[in-house]
Amino acid sequence: MVFKIEVFTSPTCPYCPTAKDIVMEAKKQLKDKIDVEEVNIMENKKRANAYGVMAVPAIVINGVVEFVGAPTLDDLLLKLK
């Protein structure tokens, strides 16, 4: 199964780089099992609204908001297994 991960971010968010780094580390470990897309909420407000994203960073896995805030790598990997 391939997981589609959408990382909702904002250019002004101080925690978003950490969330992106964690997702990219998970991608490095799980390779082709993860498809990652970064979504800037300033440019994609409708998409953020469709998921009900009210704060960033937010991580959506296969269409479901799973994390608001940056998860630990262990928490993210656990969710993906």
Q: Which residue has the tokens 């968010």?
A: 13
Q: Which residues in the chain land under pLDDT 50?
A: none
Amino acid type, 39: V
pLDDT at 1: 81
Nearest to 15 by CA among 65, 63, 72: 72
Delineate the domains of the chain, giving CATH numbers in brackets: 3-80 (3.40.30.10)
Query: What does the pLDDT look like over 28-44, one tens digit per residue?
Result: 999 999 999 999 999 99
Nearest to 76 by CA among 40, 34, 47, 16: 34
pTM for this one?
A: 0.94
